[in-house]
Amino acid sequence: MRSLIFIVCIYSLLCRNNGFAQNSIPAEEFSFMFYNVENFFDCENDSLTSDDEFTPEGDRRWSQARLHSKAERLAKVILAAGKWNPPVFVGLCEIENIAVLELLTKIAPLNKYHYKIVQKDSPDERGIDVALIYRAELFRPFSYEAIPVTDPKDKSFKTRDILRVSGVLNGCDTLHLFVNHWPSRYGGIMETMKYRQLAAESLKRSIEATKAEFSDAKIVCMGDFNDTPKDESMSLILNAKESDDAETDDELVNLSAGWLSAPVQTIKSQYTWDVFDQWVVSDDFLTTGRCFRFLKAEVFDAGFLLEPDTKFGGVKPKRTYVGFKYQEGFSDHLPVILRVELLNY
């Protein structure tokens, strides 16, 4: 009898120590992803946008074969970034329309995961948009909106909308996702700074409205912000902190701030790497609940996404084109990932 009691006690201790005690479910790692896929255009000429170079007759000789190759390569990146458990959702920017997203999600073996699409055409002059694809068995949207970024002093100003998607993660917790692609620095950093600040103000207003509607809102902002975590648009206007202050509630935290000291960041210009692609979350997102536990944020810098930088040294992202020379690469940006554990999967 004593032997039996001893065995039962040992078994109970082992179960508890390994997380398999009664009423406990083992966690499994999943990921969220954002990727600026750089010029993911179809081959059709849209008379309403400046997409002429990405047509068979255009300067880049963009063809159906090249389009399909690009889709296959992007699908490879998504699969690899998720460690062959593809991300729950992927925020994307520099996509032309829903047609290229439908092509991407039908590429084998990514098609096994039945990604659904949220996308809305925006007023960008080149016709590029932001979008979200998601695994419907793990994330169920219940609302979305396109948030315009406008300049009250210049009615001719056009840029990408910010996409908000609110949905339920794995049947137990609500996430509010904001997919961003802020105005570029083309034309000069200082000359274009005000446009990114306008985008920051638009995002901030929408976040505040979301918080007013949903208490303890779990907010996830992802995107190519074309600014770094230290620039005014991110650090002052959006007010995203570099780390979570345990003594302060209702903060936004920039999970990408630490990447500024990394040897490989998210985009490279000549000698210099920068962190333009970022994750900004509410502090409530970082609080472990019954649904998920945040693990880490990281740049996905797999070797196949990089190539030697023979001109400026080190490595650089392997792009689809170098100038107008086609080289079957991926993008000028590296993807960024959030790793989480789903506690009720």
Tell me if 1 is assigned to some domain. no
Tell me if 16 is assigned to some domain. no
Tell me if 271 is assigned to some domain. yes
Tell me if 284 is assigned to some domain. yes
Could you report the per-residue pLDDT of 261-311, keeping only the tens digit for each?
999 999 999 999 999 999 999 999 999 888 999 999 999 999 999 999 999
Could you report the per-residue pLDDT of 91-101, keeping only the tens digit for each?
999 999 999 99
Strands (E), the chain: 28-40, 89-95, 115-119, 129-135, 139-147, 162-169, 173-181, 219-224, 240-241, 252-254, 267-269, 272-274, 277-282, 292-299, 306-308, 315-317, 321-322, 325-326, 336-342
Domain count across the chain: 1
What tokens were used for 338?
């959030």
Tell me if 79 is assigned to some domain. yes
CATH code for position 245? 3.60.10.10
Is residue 321 within 8 A of residue 327, CB to CB? The reply is: yes
Tell me if 164 is assigned to some domain. yes
pTM above 0.75, yes or no: yes
Tell me if 2 is assigned to some domain. no
List the chain residues with pLDDT less than 70.
Answer: 1-27
Tell me if 11 is assigned to some domain. no
For 204, the domain range is 22-342
